[in-house]
Structure 1
Amino acid sequence: MNRNPPFVFLIACHLFLFISNLFAQVYFGLPVEIYAKRRASFLQQMPDHSIAVFQSATAKTRSRDINFEYRQNSDLLYLTGISQPNTALILVKNVSSAGVSENTSEILFLPKITRRNVEGTSINEEIAKNVLGFKKVFDRAAFNKKFNTFLKNKKVLFAKFEPDFVYEPLSQKRYFIGREAKKLLREKYPGLRVESPGKIMTRLREIKSQEELKLMQKAIDITCDAHIQAMRNARPGMYEYELEAIIEYVFKRSGAQYPAFPSIIGSGPNSTIIHYWRNERKMQSGDVVVIDIGAEYFGYAADVTRTLPVNGKFTPAQRELYEIVLRAQKEAIAAVRPGIPFRKIHKIARQVIESAGFGKYFIHSTSHYLGMDVHDVGDYRKLKPGMVITVEPGIYIPEGSPADKKYWNIGIRIEDDVLVTKTGHKVLSLRAPKEIKAIESLMEKSVGMSSKEFLQKE
């Protein structure tokens, strides 16, 4: 007979906590209590008598019954850490009859786990309750009934309708799904106000915590390492997709779950195409290649661009344009600090490029927010400490343009990820060389590496 049941129970509890924390670290990447704090912050900003609904992203079909690799809706991922389809979260905020104390609820809906739909580690009710701290967990099939129950007597519904709009080309009909859904809800619940959760989510997500910044820095470091390997391996005669393979190999080998967006490897004439993605051209001596890439690490994206001379040496024309873009980027980065208008960053970069006579070939904005999404949410008015932005001016001169022929088929873009600090800024992506001398030096030492040498370098 065991005479020490409390001791055994204590050991069992410690073992359970150890296993739970280990699972959380591997699956979520963040301490699980952070997700509970995020939900509490969202609830705090909801008005009384309101409800918010967040639904998982729909699995996208690649061909017939095969789906693309799944990526969760960023808002739901931010609030729960759960990265599986057919999941939903309802947040409810009431006020007691005395009108003083708040009464809130967090309800999670999970798919029924069967042999047929398990595709790796899945979050079940036990994990949701014991690890994530949810008190109310239901089967996804119960969502409609529970939603209608919780929606009664509510004044505000926060919901995002996706897709909001669908166009059917054969009938040429336009279906405004979001507008129709709001109309039906108002008819069923008179007086109900339907709003997007976007404003609250933007306030929460635009300022990165220290835990988030660690994940972002890891994603950025992986991306910079991939850039370095691209510099070491690029050479005439390679196909763009060969560089893509090296880059995404570094991503996977370094622990990134997947690219944050399709890798852009544009050489020669393709360097002048901003979002070129086919990556199929054979690179030639005398080309530049624009490499715009980003790893995603536990839901957080990097976005770093470098432009290389394929043969390891910039031509005079390439060097001239590169130095203009680099100067524009440096001056724009130098201006990043709290309180500066977001659009001022672009104005500074554009002024440099226009003064050099290439303004008409700078055809995009300079910055966007970065976080869980590559083009992340954020307030496009003034910068605040904790925001992360990109700074990425560029010049793109296609063949046949009015510019001197020596500039034709040259595209230059240089992009870094920049954290707004309390006193100024910090460039998070300096690990990847961007000075001409540093790029040429690295490429000179590494031109002609075999795949075996590449693996050993790693």
Structure 2
Amino acid sequence: MDLNHNTTVIYTPERDLRFENGSRVNDFPGRPLLNDTSISDKTGVPLASMQDFTEFMNNASKEKNTVLINNNREGDIRYASNEYVATYSPVQVLLRALNNRHSGLKHKNMYEAVANVRMIKSNSEIEILRKAASITVEGIKQSAKTIKAGVDERFLEGILEGDFKVNGSQRLAFGSIIKSGPNSHWPWRILATHYNRRNRVMENGDLVIFDVGCEYNQYVSDIGRTFPVSGTFTERQKEILVMETKVADKIIKFLKPGITFKDVQTLTNSVIPNNAKPYMQVGLFFGHHLGLSTGDPSLSNAILKPGMVFTVEPWYYNHNENISVFTEDMIVITEDGCEVLSKDLPRTPEALEALMRD
């Protein structure tokens, strides 16, 4: 998009050597190539070659124009001083290439503009997210019915993800996180790097946490629940789960247009019991935006508006007692409050136990 001249062009390659061989032309559908007129027909935007793009960028550099770059965070664009980051961060690789090839360009962060557009979902987008939530709820229900001692965590993954596909999901929103017993005390970043923490055989007395989501028509879900492997929560497990869901309920009840995320953060800090604060992350983080990704762009100082979709997820990690519980729900801000898109999935200890029996 050239904002100086109010023009938009899609630059595409003329060939894609990955899909060519001596006996077959590159006629695979969906390849964005220069001779594919369907792209312009669908978008109304003209096509040009990559050679034209190089010429355009050279001219922009000579004129010392400003290029807008999504830096994936708020604030001014920062250039990596660490060689590893400069080599492997996609944004930093782009910045380095622009400096090397088109040194006359100025760089400006467009993250705020992207976030302002992405934070507010249209009615049609919300309906797709509602469907993604529904598929995820059903998948958790089906997988939870197979929980018992002696079952591997990956077995639950298989039931869950198979049900996702049966109900129309094209792919996962992220790698399914199903963790039991001591595995449940660790964040997903740690579990993802240790293979032996993704295939544990569950035992009676364990809790098993689901933190899962699917993708439906490019939009994603993210929902979480905690189940007892034995089919019945202990009194202490039940006590912690009830406390954690009460915190979530108070946050959800507070959500409405006109307040800020800082207001939400202040509220979360005030509703966590003092004896639980050392074990809960919600005082620092209560959720994240959803849409085309599970970390949709957002602004920390944003005022809540109808159409915003995000999660509410108060973790409780207690290594001392070997108890961790997790409840995560998808929320959409409405004109006068909010709607829980994952409301069809039980949250109370009694309802979760009943779901496992049915």
Q: TM-score, normalised by structure 1?
A: 0.66
Per the TM alignment, residue 149 of structure 1 is displaced from its structure 2 partner at its CA by 3.8
- Quick check: 2:144–2:156 contact (8 Å CA) kept in 1? no
Per the TM alignment, residue 388 of structure 1 is displaced from its structure 2 partner at its CA by 0.7
Which of 316, 326, 340 does residue 427 from structure 1 map onto?
Answer: 340
Tell me the residue number matched to 1:35: none
Alpha-carbon spacing, 1:254–1:140, altered in 2? closer, same or farther (3 Å)? farther
Per the TM alignment, residue 392 of structure 1 is displaced from its structure 2 partner at its CA by 0.4
Aligned to 1:92, the other structure's residue is in SS state coil
Instruction: Please tell me the residue identity of whatever aligns with 1:332.
Output: I
Q: TM-score, normalised by structure 2?
A: 0.84
- Quick check: 1:244–1:279 contact (8 Å CA) kept in 2? no
Indicate whether 1:440 and 2:353 are aligned: yes
Tell me the residue number matched to 1:40: none
Aligned to 2:8, the other structure's residue is in SS state strand
Residues 38-57 of structure 1 correspond to what in structure 2 (within 5 A)?
none
Deviation per residue, 1:221-274 (Å, 9 max, x gap): 111111111221111111111111111112222222211111111101111112
Aligned to 1:105, the other structure's residue is in SS state coil
Unaligned runs of 5+ in 1: 1-90, 96-102, 402-407, 446-458
Per the TM alignment, residue 214 of structure 1 is displaced from its structure 2 partner at its CA by 1.7
Per the TM alignment, residue 289 of structure 1 is displaced from its structure 2 partner at its CA by 0.6
Deviation per residue, 1:142-196 (Å, 9 max, x gap): 5323432455536321124799759667xx9999646645655774x2xx43112
Indicate whether 1:325 and 2:325 are aligned: no
Which of 329, 339, 349 does residue 268 from structure 2 map onto?
Answer: 349
Residues 170-189 of structure 1 correspond to what in structure 2 (within 5 A)?
177=93, 180-181=96-97, 183-184=99-100, 187=103, 189=104
Indicate whether 1:411 and 2:314 are aligned: no
Tell me the residue number matched to 1:454: none
Distance (whole Å) between structure 2 residues aligned to residue 436 and residue 347 of structure 1: 28
Indicate whether 1:286 and 2:195 are aligned: no
Indicate whether 1:306 and 2:248 are aligned: no
Tell me the number of residue pairs that the alignment of Structure 1 and Structure 2 aligns.
333
Tell me the residue number matched to 1:225: 138
Indicate whether 1:115 and 2:20 are aligned: yes
Indicate whether 1:94 and 2:14 are aligned: no
Distance (whole Å) between structure 1 residues aligned to residue 39 and residue 134 of structure 2: 32
- Quick check: 1:267–1:287 contact (8 Å CA) kept in 2? yes
Which of 41, 45, 54 does residue 134 from structure 1 map onto?
Answer: 45
Distance (whole Å) between structure 2 residues aligned to residue 166 and residue 336 of structure 1: 40
Indicate whether 1:392 and 2:316 are aligned: no
Tell me the residue number matched to 1:375: 295
Aligned to 1:343, the other structure's residue is in SS state helix
Distance (whole Å) between structure 2 residues aligned to residue 391 and residue 281 of structure 1: 27
Tell me the residue number matched to 2:159: 246
Distance (whole Å) between structure 2 residues aligned to residue 212 and residue 435 of structure 1: 29
- Quick check: 1:328–1:350 contact (8 Å CA) kept in 2? no
Aligned to 2:116, the other structure's residue is in SS state helix
Indicate whether 1:145 and 2:48 are aligned: no
- Quick check: 2:213–2:221 contact (8 Å CA) kept in 1? yes
Aligned to 2:257, the other structure's residue is in SS state coil
Aligned to 1:289, the other structure's residue is in SS state strand
Alpha-carbon spacing, 1:313–1:215, altered in 2? closer, same or farther (3 Å)? same
Tell me the residue number matched to 1:360: 278
Distance (whole Å) between structure 2 residues aligned to residue 165 and residue 282 of structure 1: 43
Per the TM alignment, residue 386 of structure 1 is displaced from its structure 2 partner at its CA by 1.1
The structure with the largest alpha-carbon Rg is 1
Per the TM alignment, residue 427 of structure 1 is displaced from its structure 2 partner at its CA by 0.7
Distance (whole Å) between structure 2 residues aligned to residue 134 and residue 388 of structure 1: 30
- Quick check: 1:165–1:178 contact (8 Å CA) kept in 2? no
- Quick check: 1:349–1:393 contact (8 Å CA) kept in 2? no
Distance (whole Å) between structure 2 residues aligned to residue 285 and residue 424 of structure 1: 40
Instruction: Please tell me the residue identity of whatever aligns with 2:259.
Output: I
Instruction: Please tell me the residue identity of whatever aligns with 1:109.
Output: T
Per the TM alignment, residue 139 of structure 1 is displaced from its structure 2 partner at its CA by 3.9
Instruction: Please tell me the residue identity of whatever aligns with 1:199.
Output: E
Aligned to 2:129, the other structure's residue is in SS state helix
Instruction: Please tell me the residue identity of whatever aligns with 1:411.
Output: S
- Quick check: 1:231–1:308 contact (8 Å CA) kept in 2? yes
Tell me the residue number matched to 1:204: 117
Aligned to 1:280, the other structure's residue is in SS state coil
Instruction: Please tell me the residue identity of whatever aligns with 2:230.
Output: N
- Quick check: 1:206–1:387 contact (8 Å CA) kept in 2? yes
Per the TM alignment, residue 440 of structure 1 is displaced from its structure 2 partner at its CA by 0.9
Unaligned runs of 5+ in 2: 73-77
Identity of aligned residues (%): 30
Per the TM alignment, residue 328 of structure 1 is displaced from its structure 2 partner at its CA by 0.3
Indicate whether 1:195 and 2:108 are aligned: yes
The one of the two structures with greater contact order (alpha-carbon pairs below 8 A, sep at least 6) is 2
Per the TM alignment, residue 337 of structure 1 is displaced from its structure 2 partner at its CA by 0.6
